[in-house]
Amino acid sequence: MSQIGFIGLVNMGGPMVSNLIQDGHKVKAYDIIPEAIDRAVNKGATKANSAEETIIDAEFVITMLPAGEHVRSVYLEDNKILYSVSPKTVLIDSSTIDVITARQVMEVAAQRGIEMIDAPVSGGVGGADAGTLTFMCGGKIEAYDKAESILKSMGKNIFHAGDAGSGQAAKVCNNLMLAIQMIGVSEGFLLAEKLDLDIQKLWDIASTATSKCWSMTDYCPVPGPVPTSPANKDYSAGFTVAMMLKDLNLSQVAAKDNGLNTPLGAKATELYNTFSQLENNSELDFSAIIKQISNINK
Ligand code: NAD
């Protein structure tokens, strides 16, 4: 059992806190939204009145924040917890953020003798609820070894990807590939329709052939072949278009910063960006991008 400070409590953080408590850990929880703290307290957490309060006596502090600016704010700029946390505390940032910010924050931690890992997740709210998240971690192996048992309370697959920022690097590469695959599968199924090829037949063939990928076998963007896919629930998320667009934008910043041209990544970013600006599309599941491919053909 460990004493854990947890900052950022809504979609992902809320169920992650529940799973930590179910595994017997003590959690002191904080969010700038008071109702989110109340929900965590109802699940058995202790209320913290500030981010600074979560770190008192904490063996681990976990942050699950929207973006790099929030991580910078909590660790370095506004709450400055990196400047007051005990060197005995291990810091775990599970937010999905840009690699540069992750490395900068972890550099300050290293300078102050504080152990920290970046540990972004995949698996979405469903995975957070079920405690089956995948954690992709970066940082010193000693810090990772200490954090691993805590991450196991919230996840099923836990990886050490390399040095500081490697978790974020793995996440951004994964989601770049995922977005492109989803668009590819969408185009294949739309073409099948035009060619009067039965959708189920295409799925039966392609899911055992060379185009086989998760976007087809587990998350098919057309209703029918995979009953559990969001396409069968009017594309309710799941992993939203807004989240995918955020990660694609991170991929494009990372690619540009490192002098890499990713033409399909750039096109995928453009398609998701256009789609997200129409109606309430940004809150749909990211597999709804098939609608955008349909739209540009009208
Ligand atoms: P969310 O907006 O539901 O939760 C983030 C919380 O952080 C909010 O409640 C917000 O009030 C809080 N917050 C912001 N600034 C704060 C501060 N200074 N102090 C305290 N709390 C603060 O977002 P989410 O969907 O839970 O996503 C969290 C992170 O996980 C993001 O980086 C996201 O990219 C990543 N992620 C999300 C999903 C998903 O499906 N939702 C999947 C994988 C990864």
Average pLDDT, the chain: 97
Q: Is the CB of 13 under 6 A from ligand 1?
A: yes
Average pLDDT (201-224) is 97
pLDDT exceeds 90 at position 76: yes
Backbone phi and psi for residue 285, each to the nearest 5 degrees, phi listed first:
-65, 150
Is the CB of residue 29 less than 8 Å from the CB of residue 4? no
CA–centroid distance, residue 152 to ligand 1 (Å):
20
pLDDT (0 to 100) of residue 238: 82
Backbone phi and psi for residue 93, each to the nearest 5 degrees, phi listed first:
-100, 110
The full set of domain ranges for the chain reads: 3-163, 169-296
Asked if domains 3-163 and 169-296 share a fold, the reply is no
Which position among 171, 233, 246, 298 bears the catalytic label? 171
Angle CA(181)–CA(15)–CA(172) in degrees, nearest 5?
30
- What is the per-residue pLDDT across 120-172, written as a single tens digit (0 to 9) for each? 999 888 899 999 999 999 999 999 999 999 999 999 999 999 999 999 999 99
Asked whether the whole model's pTM tops 0.85, one would answer yes
Among 10, 76, 122, 286, name the best residue to mutate to test ligand 1's pocket (greatest count of ligand atoms within 8 A of Cβ).
10
pLDDT (0 to 100) of residue 62: 98
- What is the per-residue pLDDT across 157-167, written as a single tens digit (0 to 9) for each? 999 999 999 99
Burial of 14 (0-12, 13-18, 19+ CB in 10 A): buried
pLDDT confidence tier of residue 279, bands split at 50, 70 and 90: confident
pLDDT confidence tier of residue 298, bands split at 50, 70 and 90: confident
pLDDT exceeds 90 at position 119: yes
Topology of domain 169-296, per CATH?
Answer: N-(1-d-carboxylethyl)-l-norvaline Dehydrogenase; domain 2 (1.10.1040)
Q: Is the CB of 51 under 6 A from ligand 1?
A: yes
Q: How would CATH label the architecture of 3-163?
A: 3-Layer(aba) Sandwich (3.40)
Write the residue with the smallest CA distance to atom 10 of ligand 1. 8
Average pLDDT (193-213) is 98
Average pLDDT (70-87) is 97
